[in-house]
Chains A and B, each alone.
Chain A
Amino acid sequence: MDKLTEIRWHGRGGQGAVTSAELTALAAIKEGKFAQAFPSFGPERRGAPVLAFNRISESEHIRVRSAVTQPDIVVVLDPGLLYIVDVTSGLKDGGALIINSSKKLVDIKLEFGGPWQLAVVNATTIALELLKVPIVNTTMLGALLKVSDAIKLDFLLEPIEERFGKLAQRNIEACKRAYEETSVAEPSPTSKKVERAYAKESWPSWQELAPGFVVTEPGNARSYRTGDWRAQCPEWNHDRCIKCGICSLFCPEDCIRPNERGYPEADLYYCKGCGICARECWTQAITMGEEVKE
């Protein structure tokens, strides 16, 4: 059997995980390899966790069409996802885990070290500096190049130019800089997997559903956590807040309620971090802070 490399991308809707996977496949094909790229997501919208997959084979046709469950390489585009999705699920021993994070390699290793190579790059900062947007798809490709020889930079240039046109040069720069700045740790023999309560959905089987798919429990979407989609988190400055409640009126999630002292507060179980409350606050009491998870 020919060597088959399987890659799983964890990103958020609108962040470019799908583009990353496509560019990876195009680069592999340009090199003369066989490759697949495909995304996987439900009807969730911008900001929701999404998956994208790659299969790269040296010289053989790829017949498998299913989603990748046992990847050789996992790339995580958003640091916030680390605590809501089990990114190491199925990751092969001797594989690689590539994470976009502002944290240091040693700190990440304490949490996500295991029998795989661990690579960390602060892609968001690089993207913000070079591209002026927090979209890290091309930047993370640089980290992938460092860890794996599945694709090569020379073959990646052309697909990037085709895709980004005028912006290609800056994207290539971001990619090269990420290559240099990625720090890699060798595999540690044992995995000390930290148990986390991942937001899991329990799906009823079709036999349990009412005929005609009638949902008999009103408003049961309340149990669905949309707070995971958030990249920024609203914070109230109580010195400025006049408790007018405009923020709660304009919240599309209807998740802002007064707390026991009468100050409005967002229910972070639902808040998607759109920033409307901060924009519409008359006294500018609300600021959108960087989301900190755990």
Chain B
Amino acid sequence: METLGIYVPRLVTKRQGFTPGHRACSGCGEALAVKLVMKALGRNVIVVMSTGCMEVISTQLPYTAWEVPWIHTLFENSAIVASGIEAGMKALNRKGTPLPKAKVVAIGGDGATFDIGLGAISGAFERGHDFLYVCLDNEAYMNTGIQRSSATPFGASTTTQPAGKVSMGQSTWKKNMPAIAIAHDIPYVATACPSYPFDLMNKVKKAAEIEGPTYVHILSVCPTGWRIPTDMTIRLGRLAVETGVFPLYEVENGKYTLNYDPPRLRPVEDYLKPQGRFRHLTPKMVKKIQQRVSVEYASLKEKAASG
């Protein structure tokens, strides 16, 4: 076969901010997301990370998978510590002992972002600190064994809301975290998925360049918690976008842009079927999910059209 001249790694830096040797499950979408985020950000960053899968698998004493300054904080604190670092750097600048310019990046899982750290994130957004918040959303507390979070989608079976005779899995809808971030009127909010790596890296780069608080929400597929084969990670992320369950969009100073708008959405069933956590769903529940997804997608499309 003819050898083509394109070679993807030429477009992507080989430098690793996040090294191999980390202890994520095989096929981890979150590790992939962090790898891409770090490739986009380069070396000039300070990373603040909340407790969660990514923290546990990447920094097991005496090892670290990070090549950048990295600090561990508790679940609720990443936005607070990031604010403190940013304010501290400002103060040092003012007092005449400036540090080299570095972007502060706070990273948290969906538990740290949606549930435990929400107040702190809201505060940091409101105070207008110059930092980037990255949410790695794998839709449950995967680190401790697949407990539900408020990011868990409707119908998903978790260990704390298992599907059975009485319960049908998660009974509430997923919290719309990007909308909460948008409501803070911050300069940049985006959703991304590692199945679309260049879109993800561009968004992270853009968010890091903008002054002020920015938020990037990344859907990271978890083969262990979603109960899928490890090689399906990328495909599932793609299906989430193609079915409209997780639309890729960005909001720049209030202006919505849909980054991927297929002419026709695939039925949500395509996305739900391969996943073990949705195995128990009845056609009625699938229909309910389809309705909700269609309505939300239509409203997003409308916002994007009106600019």
Contacts and interface: CB of A to CB of B under 8 A. Distances in A.
Interface of A: 14, 42-48, 203-204, 209, 213, 215, 217-226, 229-230, 239-246, 248-255, 257-258, 262, 267, 270, 272-276, 278-280, 283, 288
Contacts of B14: 257
Given A43-B56, A45-B25, A221-B63, A275 B229 contact: yes
A223 B230 CA distance: 24
B230 A222 contact: no
B63 A272 contact: no
Contacts of B64: 215, 217-221
A230 to B, nearest CB: 8
B9 A248 contact: yes
Nearest to B16: A254
Contact of B8 (A215, A245, A255, A267): A245
Nearest to A215: B64
Interface residues of B, number: 51
Interface string B122-149: 0000000000000000000000000000
A43 B60 contact: yes
Given A45-B224, A46-B224, A242-B3, A215 B16 contact: no
User: Which of B16, B22, B194, B229 has most chain A Cβ within 10 Å?
Assistant: B22
A252 B35 contact: yes
B57 A43 contact: yes
A244 B57 contact: no
User: Which of B3, B22, B26, B56 has most chain A Cβ within 10 Å?
Assistant: B26
Contact of B63 (A14, A220, A273, A288): A220
A204 to B, nearest CB: 6
24 contacts: A45-B57, A46-B25, A204-B62, A209-B62, A213-B61, A215-B62, A221-B63, A222-B19, A224-B21, A241-B1, A243-B4, A245-B8, A249-B8, A250-B194, A252-B27, A252-B29, A252-B35, A253-B20, A254-B16, A254-B19, A254-B20, A274-B233, A275-B229, A280-B234
